[in-house]
């Protein structure tokens, strides 16, 4: 669970810093057009920070790591690779656009596509792990408190 927390926190920092980078780089270059650089901020905040916080909450409630430790570990590493590759390629391509350089490389598009495939694989692994956790043991619902008789 600590890995999920620390990774989520790291993406929160990366997301905020990428927003700062976008703002300062576009101001410095007098850039007013559209680029992928402005989307890195939200991708890292949502895919990294928010999604991993949600998985942390699911882990706390359903003990996924106890029911499916290998699936959760695979999810963690595949998902993080996908977030880093996808966001990293957006950062590279956006920076090239802001700098006025060619960002239409097929190699960059292929690497970005690999990042998206990793994210898809990560989602599949998460759902497999969650399904295993949900079917492993019934969820124990605590009884409702009974009011004291006066």
Rounded average pLDDT over 40-48: 96
Indicate if the alpha-carbon torsion angle 9, 14, 19, 23 is positive or negative: positive
Q: What is the pLDDT of residues 56-74, one digit of tens each?
A: 999 999 999 999 999 999 9
Determine the angle formed by the axes of helices 69-98 and 51-62, rounding to 10 degrees.
Answer: 170
pLDDT at position 48 is: 96
Q: What is the pTM of this model?
A: 0.86
pLDDT at 149 over 80: no
Q: What is the pLDDT of residues 110-143, one digit of tens each?
A: 999 999 999 999 999 999 999 999 998 666 667 7
CA angle 52, 138, 53 (to 5 degrees): 10
Name which residue leads in pLDDT, 98 or 149: 98
pLDDT at position 138 is: 65
């Amino acid at each position: 669970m600590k890995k999920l927390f620390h990774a989520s926190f790291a993406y929160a920092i990366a997301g905020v810093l990428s927003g700062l980078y976008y703002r300062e780089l576009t101001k410095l270059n007098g850039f007013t057009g559209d680029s992928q650089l402005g989307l890195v901020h939200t991708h890292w905040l949502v895919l990294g920070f928010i999604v991993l916080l949600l998985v942390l909450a699911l882990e706390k409630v359903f003990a996924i790591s106890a029911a499916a430790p290998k699936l959760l570990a695979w999810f963690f590493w595949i998902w993080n690779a996908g977030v880093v590759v996808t966001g990293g390629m957006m950062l590279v391509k956006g920076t090239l656009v802001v700098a006025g350089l060619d960002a239409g490389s097929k190699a960059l598009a292929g690497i970005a596509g690999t990042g998206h495939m990793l994210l898809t694989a990560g989602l599949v692994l998460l759902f497999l792990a969650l399904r295993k956790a949900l079917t492993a043991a019934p969820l124990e619902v605590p009884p409702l408190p009974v009011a004291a008789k006066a």
